[in-house]
Amino acid sequence: MSPRAALLFLALATGSSAAICTADAFWKAPPKVFGSEVLDIHAEEVRGWNEYATASPTFPALPVEQKPIDFCNVTIFYTHPGLNDTIRVSIWLPLQEQEWNGRFLGQGGGGWAAGGHGALAAGVALGYAAADTDAGHTYFGDMADIGLTSRSWSLTSPGNVNLHALQNFAYRALDDMAWIAKHITKTYYSKDIAYSYWNGCSTGGRQGLTLAQRYHEQFQGIISAAPAANWVTFLVTEYYAHIKMRELNYYPPICELQAITKAAIKACDELDGVKDGVISAPRLCGFDAKSIVGQKYECKEGDTRQITKEAAEVANAVWTGPLKKDGTPIWHGLAHEAPLAGQANFQGLAKTKCDSQEKNCKSDPFVISADWIKQFLLKDPDYDLSNIDEELFHNLLRISRQEYHSIMDTSDPDLTPFKEAGGKLILWHGLGDELIFPNGSLNYYERVKEATTDVEDYFRYFEVPGVLHCFGGDGAFPLTALNSLVDWVEKGKAPDHLDGQTLPMFSSKPDAEPAYRPLCAYPKVAAYKGGDVNKAESFECADGFGKVAGKRDEL
């Protein structure tokens, strides 16, 4: 008899209820999900783990002291028989039963990665049993290979999309993960789970909405941050700035784009009555990049240039979003404070690639948008995207909607089943998001309001000025959103605001002290009352910003 089997036999023989972290213990009653088959189970005790994921999208909403943790690491490999797939579910369980808070936390991924290595640590540190899935393609390795491109799995051959793999990523693996991970959790502790929660941003936010729309009984509380919903539309429109560059035959250097963004923030910063480097009233910002054509800026010290009319047109196109020939919008644009060229962690939607002198620039589109167009719409990984003109762009948008809406879009506004199951949903979106259009989230919230009644009883939307995609930027971040969700689910305390605090290490002011501000439930905004602008009590949730109260134009 193996040592692990002997330990299991001894525990059963003596009637001990102590949790046993061995594969044999879980093979006694393996998880069963209709249409799937468990291939293998691994389990091992991990002590002193201190590798926390500190990058988006695994960081948001989990304030935790990053101390070493002990947990039972359970990995399940399973397949859908006949479909030639292998999917991994990772479950991290606080090692001792007394360290478990009785709750389960599903954690989302980012880009094409359905989960993320180290993403579960924060949940375990807070006492949750935490889990994620790789949806059938690994999240270990170089992010450029696993999170930003689907080349390894999206096509079975040129011209032929692996639709089953896409369905796993889109929704099916999420439901599988919930069933499997909950079963493992209950088996380990020999207790039922009191409450189940979901936390995710970007792809993780889309996954949260997917769960609310398709699998409404799996999670009592869901945080969906900057969700990659409206997938089939926004991923194509993310490419539009490069259509405009092609049309103008001008590819602005990053320093020129940065100068335009800086000018826009300067022009609209104080519309809310506070000068803080953040545009908190984006719907009041009517800044036109054409107004600064000819204005001087520096690329490098001594390298003075002037804003061109072509760069201004590119910037305006990003802010308005693509338009039809009659001038009506196809989709939303980004807010003026969103970095046109991106930030350290992400590309922007107008990013270019230049030589060492910031000259001879070329198009450098956001890699996931380019991947979606190549792999799933054109179905040709070697296609030269520089050939895409305005006509082909509109055709690709039609193809995207026609072929993938039912699989990927995650925009069904009828949340009645989720509401009736008692679920609670917090959706927040950074208004400085440089990749996913914040008004897409607002559009979804407004459509839910039209489709169901008493929306505020189960779904609240929060706009977060100054925060970029998932995190970063000079705005106040909703670090304790998960706490607010737990209070709503378990105590019936609906949040009229989220507590926001700036995260200097991810901002343009790394040496600053944190500032605090309420992040108000839409349509309220944080209006300045007076006092120290770095303190939350200097603001109140109101209908507008002082003299401009009540005016809410579109971004």
Mean of pLDDT values over 190-217: 97
Q: Among the listed ranges 118-127, 176-185, 197-206, 207-216, which one has the minimum average pLDDT value?
A: 118-127
Q: What is the mean pLDDT of residues 261-267?
A: 97
Which residue would you say has higher pLDDT here, 199 or 141? Answer: 199
User: Dihedral of CA 419/425/429/435: which sign?
Assistant: negative
Sign of CA dihedral 341, 300, 253, 319: positive
* Gap between the Cα atoms of 286 and 319, Å rounded: 10
Spatial distance between the Cα atoms of 439 and 333, rounded to a whole number of angstroms: 8
Is the pLDDT assigned to residue 27 strictly greater than 90? yes
**Predicted confidence band of residue 4 (pLDDT cuts 50, 70, 90):** very low
Domain boundaries, the chain: 32-234+408-547, 240-364
pLDDT tens readout for residues 73-88: 999 999 999 999 999 9
For 227-248, what is the mean pLDDT? 97
pLDDT of 116 = 83
Q: Considering only 50-54, 249-253, 537-541, which range has the smallest mean pLDDT?
A: 50-54
Q: Which two tokens stand for residue 241?
A: 């700035």
Give the pairing type, strands 362-363 and 352-353.
antiparallel
Please determine, for residue 11, whether its predicted confidence score (pLDDT) is greater than 80.
no
Which residues are part of the catalytic machinery? 202, 433, 469
Q: What is the greatest pairwise CA distance in the chain?
A: 83
Question: Alpha-carbon distance 234 to 295, whole Å?
Answer: 32
Instruction: State residue 134's pLDDT score.
Output: 95
pLDDT of 9 over the 80 cut: no
Q: What is the CA radius of gyration of the chain?
A: 24
Mean pLDDT over 356-369 rounds to 94
Q: What is the pLDDT of residues 488-546, one digit of tens each?
A: 999 999 999 999 999 888 888 889 999 999 999 999 999 999 999 999 999 999 999 97
The DSSP code sequence of 86-141 is -EEEEEEEESSGGG--SEEEEE--BTTBSS-TTTTHHHHHTT-EEEEE-TTS---S
In the chain, the percentage of residues whose pLDDT exceeds 90 is 83
Closest by Cα among 499, 438, 511 to 468: 438
Omega of the bond leading into 57 within 30 degrees of 0 (cis): yes
* Sheet with 69-79: strands ordered across: 37-49, 69-79, 87-94, 129-133, 103-107, 195-201, 221-225, 424-430, 459-464
Please check the confidence at residue 16 and state whether its pLDDT lies above 70: no
pLDDT of 54 reads 52
Q: What is the CATH number of domain 32-234+408-547?
A: 3.40.50.1820
pLDDT for residue 247: 96
For position 325, what pLDDT does the model report? 84
Has residue 6 got a pLDDT over 50? no
